[in-house]
Amino acid sequence: MDKLELKKHARNVRKKIIEMVYAAQSGHPGGSLSAADILTYLYYEVMDVNKDNLESKDRDRFVLSKGHASPALYGILDEMGLLEEDITSFRQIGSKLQGHPSMEFLKGVDMSTGSLGQGASVAVGMALANKLDGVPYRVYCLVGDGECQEGLVWEALMAAHNYHLNNLVYILDYNDLQIDGRIEEVMDPTPFKEKFEAFGLRVYECDGHDFDDIESVFKAIEKDDDRPAMIIAYTIKGKGVSFMEGQAQWHGVAPNAEQYQEAMTELSEEVI
């Protein structure tokens, strides 16, 4: 798929994110918008996920460890025609589109997440199971930068290295903001690259909003290596909606009617 088409899909995912959070009047737009390009590339260009294999073991798996960014996951699943629910039912009573994704309710959700750090750990178990079963499929796990303040994340990375899980790819959504402000000012988990390398991972860096850059790191991961991989994707919280970009207050706040219209107008501009 050419880069223009990927940009259009990512824009549509962002529109869906805003629609969901606005309809529910709750949710987490900032960190969902920052992850939209990464998930778009991952689902359209990397993983072998489609309507025919959603319930099969014979496919790649994705774990959204930063589970509060569920609108991004629901958005890409809907964009690909894999979501059977109306996205505007997000967070409504009785809806399968929970505020944090649940594998009990939705095909295509490979792990229930929400408690930060646990998705990173479960991804290790999935990748290890594939190794033991001789299954060639990979596990991809999106982790938040603020989430890396959880000790469980580092225990998971240590285990991934220990078991030589070269079928496990972590992606860090490094937007540098969490609900209380900049991650370095809340509980500094940096420097990421040096720490990830010290834990035995092969580390790659990219602009998380540049599809050429994203493509280059995923291609680099294909080289033979017996270590798990970590992609540090530098992103902007609230990316795509000008008044949300780089603003910590949009971590978990829904737009009002005027803000919704402004956001949707921006996201309806022609993609170039």
What stretch of H or E contains 192?
helix 192-198
pLDDT tier for residue 229 given thresholds of 50, 70 and 90: very high
Round to whole Å and give the CA distance between 84 and 104.
14
In terms of residue numbers, what domain contains 51?
3-267
Q: What is the pLDDT of residues 172-193, one digit of tens each?
A: 999 999 999 999 999 999 999 9
Q: Is residue 58 included in any domain, yes or no?
A: yes
Q: What is the pLDDT of residues 136-148, one digit of tens each?
A: 999 999 999 999 9
What is the model's pTM? 0.97
Q: Is residue 196 included in any domain, yes or no?
A: yes
List, in order, residues 6 or more apart from 202 with CB less than 8 Å away.
Answer: 221, 225, 227, 228, 229, 230
pLDDT tier for residue 224 given thresholds of 50, 70 and 90: confident
Q: Is residue 272 included in any domain, yes or no?
A: no
Closest by CA to 66, choosing from 127, 146, 126, 125, is 146
Sheet holding 139-144, edge to edge: 61-64, 139-144, 168-174, 229-234, 202-207
What stretch of H or E contains 203?
strand 202-207
Number of domains in the chain: 1
Angle in degrees, 0-180, between the axes of helices 70-79 and 3-24, rounded to the nearest 10: 130
> Phi/psi at 34 (nearest 5 deg)?
-65, -25
Here the CATH number for the domain that contains residue 105 is: 3.40.50.970
Q: Is residue 132 included in any domain, yes or no?
A: yes
In this prediction, residue 42 carries a pLDDT of: 98
* Neighbouring C-alpha atoms within 13 Å toward the C-beta of 180: 8
